[in-house]
Amino acid sequence: DGGITQSPKYLFRKEGQNVTLSCEQNLNHDAMYWYRQDPGQGLRLIYYSQIVNDFQKGDIAEGYSVSREKKESFPLTVTSAQKNPTAFYLCASSAGMGRGNTIYFGEGSWLTVV
Amino acid sequence: GENVEQHPSTLSVQEGDSAVIKCTYSDSASNYFPWYKQELGKRPQLIIDIRSNVGEKKDQRIAVTLNKTAKHFSLHITETQPEDSAVYFCAASLYSSASKIIFGSGTRLSIRP
């Protein structure tokens, strides 16, 4: 778990701004994920990436964008098109997708719209 | 695709008693079932998992049982303690590559002193 670093931990966004959440892992994992969690709610998948230079939309990708230029990095941009971005964002990684590979989570980033 | 239902959504038990959380899944091909614990404001952390080739797995006060025929699996916590208070998520996934893990909606467990 300690191998996944998210920053910043707290972020405030003004209306109409794009913000980028950083996620770095040193676990040599191929797969990386972004989840959104609203207060008192479950985990919803935003985007995932199985390998460098490839990523797929999850269940709630609208208003978000990602890139996977390096194996260890999977930044998430919350664009102005995301109308209700206030939430807890969790980055995660696993050795690979499926095949019983355990998903490990970062510490999370709290995003608030002001 | 796979769907995971989790019950109950909230659970309150007396300290020292047992707690049971149940999940059902829809895809009979699913064969990996992890459980995560999330304390308030923290990240989910894996506490135990089970693969479909076994029916039960224990780790101290925590156990998970799997009924493949009925497509349900359960988390059992015995001798509950205050630090067990958290939200617990079950999940299921297929063994095939590129299979996404599907999470349940979570159970908020409260331990009464």
CA distance B79 to chain A (A): 26
Residues 6+ away with beta carbon under 8 Å from A71 = A28, A29, A30, A52
Closest to A97 (Cβ–Cβ): which among B34, B44, B100? B100
Mean pLDDT confidence for B18-22: 98
Of B46, B99, B105, the CB nearest to A102: B46
Give pLDDT tens digits for B67-111. 999 999 999 999 999 999 999 999 998 766 667 889 999 999 999
Which of B110, B111, B109, B107 lies closest to B23 in space, CA to CA?
B107
Nearest Cα to Cα of residue B51 among B62, B64, B69: B64
CA A5, chain centre distance (Å): 11
Distance spanning both ends of chain B, measured CA to CA: 41
What is the least distance, in Å, from the CA of A82 to any CA of chain B?
23
CA A59, B95, A108, B78 torsion: positive or negative?
positive
Q: Does B20 touch chain A (CB under 8 A)?
A: no
Cis before A8? omega within 30: yes
The residue of A9, A21, A97, A104 whose CB has the most chain B CBs within 10 angstroms, and thus the best one to mutate to test that interface, is A97
pLDDT, position B99: 75
Q: Dihedral sign, CA of A39, A41, A46, A52?
A: positive
Min Cα separation B31/chain A (Å): 8
User: Alpha-carbon torsion A73, A79, A82, A84, what sign?
Assistant: positive
Does B101 contact A103 at a Cβ distance shorter than 8 Å? yes
Please check whether residue B64 is in contact with residue B76, taking contact to mean a CB–CB distance below 8 angstroms. Answer: yes
- pLDDT (tens digit, 9 = 90+) per residue, B24-70? 999 988 889 999 999 998 999 999 999 888 899 999 999 999 999 99
Count the neighbouring beta carbons within 10 Å of the beta carbon of residue B12.
12
A29 class by beta-carbon count within 10 Å (0-12 exposed, 13-18 middle, 19+ buried): buried
Q: What region does B60 belong to: left with phi over 0, alpha with psi -120 to 50, or beta?
A: left
CB–CB contact A97 B45 (8 Å): no
Per-residue confidence of chain A (114 residues) as pLDDT tens digits? 459 999 999 999 888 899 999 999 999 999 999 999 998 889 999 999 999 999 999 999 999 999 999 999 999 999 988 889 999 999 999 988 777 788 999 999 999 988
Residues 38-57 of B with CB under 8 A from A: 42-46, 49, 51
